[in-house]
Amino acid sequence: MGIKGYIAAVLFAGGGCFAQSDSLSDPYTEKFPDKISTQLFTLNTYNNFTINYKNEGLTVDLAPNRKTTLGVAVQYDILFFSVGFAPRFFVDNRDNKDSKMTSFSLSMFPVQWVQYFDYIYQKGMTLQTDGGNIYLSTMKSMKLGGSTSYVFNKHYSVNALSFQSERQLKSAGSFIPALSYYYTQLSGDASEGIDGKIYFIDVALSPGYNYNWVIAKKFLVAGGLSLGAGFTKTVDEEVNTTIFLTTASVNLSLGYNSDTFYGGIQSKGIASSHNTHSSVTMNDAVSYVTAFFGYRFDAPGFLTREKNKIKEKLKF
């Protein structure tokens, strides 16, 4: 039985996630080009789904059971990556056995371009309705993809937004259009009567605006908003459709950023709307809330030399 058919059957039958800093050639930003930024973080992130059965007037939420991730991140110059997992000692990861959650991200910041890649894997989800909850230990979701964007205002620092390798010295904002592309899969296991899967391929162009507000020399409040549209290809059992897609995202950050230590809180939400067929729609939302603490130290000489060689060849 397919995923939506199984869910409908269960619910209807029952009734009811220090080297010297770079010279200040730009008075708006300060760079740390020869520093390695390391970061420990806790991240509450999950990819949840809302299924709307229009004919029956029923809305069902599919929420993952593990949400809080412990992770580590490293940035050197234009390259940033992080990896995290969801340990059981966090309170909101204890509710059901066999749940899993893993996340990985990779970012690059060549000149005024910004490139993101994300991977989120979840196992163990709960059907949530007004009539009660049903835990599905083998229900899995996987999201893989990223975005490519361009920062029009060179005085605006994307790195300052995440507090890793730059510091915003004067408040600045920028128009930042982005092209996003994601593959999302939701699947079950025959042992629970769910032997089908749904997957989406989303491509959208999202104009947006971000602003870094320097409230003191080392304190920053940052935020942004984007709205976009594109197309989504949906494969649901025997149904294969390509339709219009709408997306929206919002982010907010607050933090402290000194020459060596940095830390703060960041939040971000991304939502997409899909029609799986004429009587069923599925909304796909990803939310991030992270608290982090980081430290910068001098990069080894050989690494600095190799980096400079590569950047010279690539004209960065």
* Whole-number Å distance between alpha carbons of 271 and 227: 10
Structure confidence by residue, pLDDT tens digits, 30-56: 888 788 888 888 777 667 777 777 777
Q: What is the rounded CA–CA span in Å between residue 292 and residue 288?
A: 13
**pLDDT reported for residue 206:** 93
Predicted confidence band of residue 93 (pLDDT cuts 50, 70, 90): low
**C-alpha 42: how far from chain center:** 14
CA–CA distances in Å: residue 268 to residues 45, 65, 176, 252, 271: 9, 20, 16, 7, 10
Domain count, the chain: 1
Answer yes or no: is pLDDT of 303 > 60: yes
Boundaries of domain holding 124: 3-314
Length of the chain, in residues: 316
Q: What are 20's two structure tokens?
A: 């010297």
Alpha-carbon distance of 264 to 242, in angstroms, equals 40
Which candidate, 311, 299, 260, places its Cα nearest to that of 34? 299
- Look at residue 210 in the predicted model and tell me its pLDDT: 94
- What percentage of the chain exceeds 90 in pLDDT? 16
Is pLDDT larger for residue 206 or for residue 277? 206
Kindly report the number of other CB atoms within 10 A of residue 297's CB atom: 12
CATH of the domain at 276: 2.40.128
Q: Does residue 66 have a pLDDT over 70?
A: no
Summarised one tens digit per residue, pLDDT across range 238-291 is: 778 788 888 888 989 898 988 888 888 888 888 877 655 555 566 777 777 888
| Non-local CB neighbours of 64 within 8 Å, separated by 6+ positions | 17, 46, 47, 48, 99, 101, 122, 124, 125, 126, 141
State residue 15's pLDDT score: 47
Q: Which of 3, 37, 42, 7 is nearest to 19 (CA)?
A: 37
pTM, two decimals, is: 0.76
With vertex at residue 296, the alpha carbon angle to CA 148 and CA 213, rounded to the nearest 5 degrees, is 55
Cα–Cα–Cα angle for 123, 128, 132, rounded to 5 degrees: 125
End-to-end CA distance of the chain: 53
- For residue 258, the one-letter residue type is S
Give the ranges where the chain is alpha helix by DSSP (H).
3-14, 158-162, 301-314
Q: To 5 degrees, how large is the angle CA 101–CA 106–CA 112?
A: 145
At 172, the pLDDT band (50, 70, 90 cuts) reads very high
Give the C-alpha separation, 43 to 46, whole Å.
Answer: 10
308 vs 12, more confident? 308
Q: pLDDT tens-digit profile of 118-151?
A: 888 888 888 877 777 887 878 888 989 999 999 9
**Contact status, residue 168 vs residue 209, Cβ threshold 8 Å:** no
- The Cα 148–Cα 141 span in angstroms is 24
Torsion angle (degrees, nearest 10) of CA 85, 90, 94, 98 = 10
pLDDT bin (cut points 50, 70, 90) of residue 26 is confident
Strand stretches in 151-196, DSSP E: 166-168, 172-175, 178-187
